[in-house]
Chains A and B, each alone.
Chain A
Amino acid sequence: MSAMIEVSGVVYDYPAARALHGVSFEVQAGAVLALVGPNGAGKSTLMRCIAALDVPTEGTIKVAGLDVEADPRGVHAAIGYLPDFFGLYEELSVRKALTYAARSRGVAVGETPAAVEMAAARVQLTDRLEARAGELSRGLKQRLAIAQTIVHQPRVLLLDEPAAGLDPEARRSLSDLILSLARDGMTIVVSSHILAELEDYSTQMLMIRDGAVAGGGVVAAGAGHRDGQRVEVTFADPPLDLAERIAALGVAVEQTTADTALLLLPEGEDDSGLLGKLIGAGLKVRSFQAARKTLEDAYLAEVAR
């Protein structure tokens, strides 16, 4: 798979402070990257540099093969970017706001009405097309902002804290939308300092701390964890040497307690085979369920590196 975003040695200086210290990473096409880190870590600055809105002091960034410094307008055309604090043309109707977004992003006049309808449908705003943007609720404004960002069907979507201030239902809609866009092949970078927000749709994670990449760079995480399926098994009357008994079956043990074990099933292996092995070895299985490695697990693992 080719890299859609290539960041190499990026340094960014504000007048009074250095915000990024030599950040390097790559995002593969079609990935949904969770950009995580505490407030003030440099996530937004990094996003603005990737969006070719700010020029890095040092280093290079390529988006869809285009250098942000050499061809910023090409990068602008290839991406959609929603900043953390966005604004809307509150006096315009949703339809006019989307029409302007489409036309100003190069959608042809004849194709604009269809693009507007499609963007509105994706964010479930079809029934609000004639409403004034200023009259929408916080969640609906967020949807309109995202619709404006995707109306020209960009190849790369950058969302900076998109779920901030949304209620649980709106967050769920946002997750569904991001999953749907990812299925269409869009490369998406989503930043947040709340890991639970990113859990459902992220396939990769990059941790930024104090303006630098923390941990081991881009790692698989959340929905995209691909290094094997994990299974949580609870045993009745577990033997004292539970870990050894399981290991003897050739199963990787990630973690055990007195009566529970977290087992790693190699990619492609059937979990019923594992269950059969455990029962066949005389272990009394009380519960057997898939356990996904959460983004928080990945985050904590990276912190511990």
Chain B
Amino acid sequence: MNPEFQRNLWLEASPRRIAWAAVSLVLIYGATALVARDSASGPLPAMAGVGGFVFIICGLLWGSRAAGGAVLGEIADRTWDFQRLSALTPWSMTWGKLLGASSLAWICALTGVALMAGLMLVQGQPGALWMLAFLIALALFLQAICLAAALIGVRKARAEGRVARAGGVLWGLIFGLILLLGVAGSSGFQRGAGLSGLSSFLYARGDITWWGQVFPAIAFRTVATLAFAGWGLAGAWRLMRLELQMKNLPVVWPGFLIFLAVFLGGFAYQPGALAAPLLVGALAVALAAYAGAFAEPADRVRLRQFGASAAKGDLARALPLTPAAVIPFILALILVVAAFVVGGAGSMFSQGPDPAQAAALLAFVLRDLAVITLFRFGPRPQRGDFGAVVALALLYAVGGIVGSVISPGVGQALFVPLSIAPWASLASGLAQAAIAWALAWRRIKVPEVR
């Protein structure tokens, strides 16, 4: 057996803990059955409802916390270096922690799944199996990204000379997820990005048209969630490799970005109009550039080594050091250029953003990446993330107000990439990016060490 999985089982799923969990679940389900015993449809629907609640609490919340805590707990208990020195492969370490740390949570969560499955079978609900598979895939996805987030937190904390804490990582993850769901779920975003099918995906309603093919939403959502869980797992494994001092060639990250562009682009596809999915893909990977910029440790030594190796053309050394934001930005650029080529520069599209506006958006992404770099490599790297978020919020909010005072429309477009004057936005974004990168590079180049 994988020693890491076994150790986690010894600690998390000891016979005593399993016995306590069993007693608790029997009491919860037993009480529910007693309360609902006189119900016309019997106690099963009520028990399945409680089972769903148990699944959310145990599978989604407790399991995710346990998966993240599998690394952060080692840091707090000062056993992480001992683990890093082990002979275990990064993959053994990843799955051993993921399933081992959440083993008891899974045992409890699966009782809820079993009750829900029982009810669905009794009632003969269509798509029951898809629904159950979706729940399990969702739990796996959340647990994998929690483990990945914990590893990101550990690496960032080390580079900033502090100790990673569960609170910081958890808040970062919650903030990121809320932001992502808020953006993806908003009708304005879906309309503007030409992703009207996203709602059907998120809520599994009706059918989904994806790259011109029609799929039942419930099945599509399950398969997609499983795919994202797989990517989450791959991400955790790659981060584990880095923690074990191994080098990563940029393969999985670009692979995920292409998957993301294809996945989201499929919702925007209309027969004969390829530019729209290309631009949606560009938008998605551009947003991933922000995630990459914030997730990477603020390590100026590594960045300088990347710059020096790239300048010498030493790709073998430069590629593993490539900053995470570089690849999504380049990919977004390629997708925008491709959209220009297939759609024709300046042409109007039936839906989705205009290529000129997309180019302006990229210019502002380039500026924002410089601002993030500038703040994260400042004298107090611990406050860099927060400082960068505040600075970006101020640049867009105050810039927008100043621009509208100068001249509503064109003036505003100088500070925010707007469709009213995309070429003005593009020129302004590039100029701001040049200034911000000059400042950021000065900070990276100048060593702060004594």
Interface residues of A, Cβ cutoff 8 Å to B? 13-18, 51-53, 55, 57, 72-73, 76-77, 79-81, 83, 85-92, 96, 100-101, 103-106, 148, 152
Contact = CB atoms under 8 A, between A and B. Distances in A.
A104 B86 contact: yes
B79 A87 contact: yes
A289 B4 CA distance: 56
A53 B160 contact: no
Q: B86, B160, B381, B447: which has the most chain A beta carbons within 10 Å?
A: B86
A53 B87 contact: no
Interface string B50-87: 00000000000000000000000010011101111111
A79 B246 CA distance: 17
B132 interface: no
Contact of A53 (B4, B6, B85, B88): B85
A92 B83 CA distance: 15
A86 B86 CA distance: 15
A148 B449 contact: no
B84 A100 contact: no
Given A15-B381, A16-B448, A81-B81, A72 B160 contact: no
A105 B86 contact: yes
Nearest to A91: B11
B31 interface: no
B81 A53 contact: yes
A104 B79 CA distance: 13
Contacts of B245: 52-53, 55, 72-73, 76
Interface string B434-450: 00000000000001111
B422 to A, nearest CB: 40
Q: A51, A87, A91: which has the most chain B beta carbons within 10 Å?
A: A87
Which 3 pairs of residues, A with B, have the shortest CB-CB distance? A87-B78, A72-B245, A106-B87
Nearest to B381: A15
A197 to B, nearest CB: 22
A37 B7 CA distance: 38
A73 B246 contact: yes
Contact of A92 (B11, B87, B246, B447): B11
B88 A104 contact: yes
B10 interface: yes
Nearest to A158: B85
21 contacts: A13-B301, A14-B449, A15-B161, A16-B161, A16-B449, A17-B450, A57-B301, A73-B87, A73-B244, A79-B85, A87-B74, A87-B78, A88-B79, A89-B77, A92-B10, A96-B10, A100-B7, A101-B82, A103-B3, A103-B6, A104-B88
B159 interface: yes
Nearest to B86: A104
A72 B86 contact: no
Contacts of B86: 76, 104-105
Interface of B: 3-4, 6-7, 10-11, 74, 77-79, 81-88, 159-161, 244-246, 298, 301, 381, 447-450
Majority DSSP secondary structure for residues of B touching A: loop
Given A73-B246, A79-B85, A106-B87, A18 B449 contact: yes
A92 B161 CA distance: 31
Contact of B11 (A17, A79, A86, A89): A89
Nearest to A13: B449
B449 A17 contact: yes
Given A81-B81, A88-B79, A104-B87, A15 B159 contact: yes
Contacts of A148: 82
Nearest to B83: A104
B78 A105 contact: no
B376 to A, nearest CB: 11
B77 A87 contact: yes
A200 B447 CA distance: 42
A15 B448 contact: yes
Contacts of B298: 15
Given A76-B245, A86-B78, 8 more contacts: A14-B449, A89-B79, A91-B11, A100-B6, A104-B87, A105-B85, A106-B87, A152-B87
B2 to A, nearest CB: 9
Contacts of B244: 72-73, 76
Contacts of B83: 104
A188 to B, nearest CB: 16
B78 A104 contact: no
Contacts of A79: 85
Contacts of A76: 84-87, 244-245
Nearest to B299: A15
Q: A51, A72, A104, A105: which has the most chain B beta carbons within 10 Å?
A: A104
A72 B246 contact: yes
A89 B7 contact: yes
B5 to A, nearest CB: 11
Q: B85, B88, B245, B447: which has the most chain A beta carbons within 10 Å?
A: B85
B85 to A, nearest CB: 5
Contacts of A52: 245
A83 B159 CA distance: 19
A53 B245 CA distance: 7
A16 B11 CA distance: 38
B83 to A, nearest CB: 7
B85 A51 contact: yes
A77 B79 contact: no
Contacts of A51: 85
Nearest to B92: A104
Nearest to B161: A15
Contacts of A81: 81, 85
Contacts of A103: 3, 6
Nearest to B96: A104
A17 B11 CA distance: 39
Contacts of B159: 15
Nearest to A14: B161
B378 to A, nearest CB: 10
A103 B86 CA distance: 9
Q: A51, A81, A83, A100: which has the most chain B beta carbons within 10 Å?
A: A100
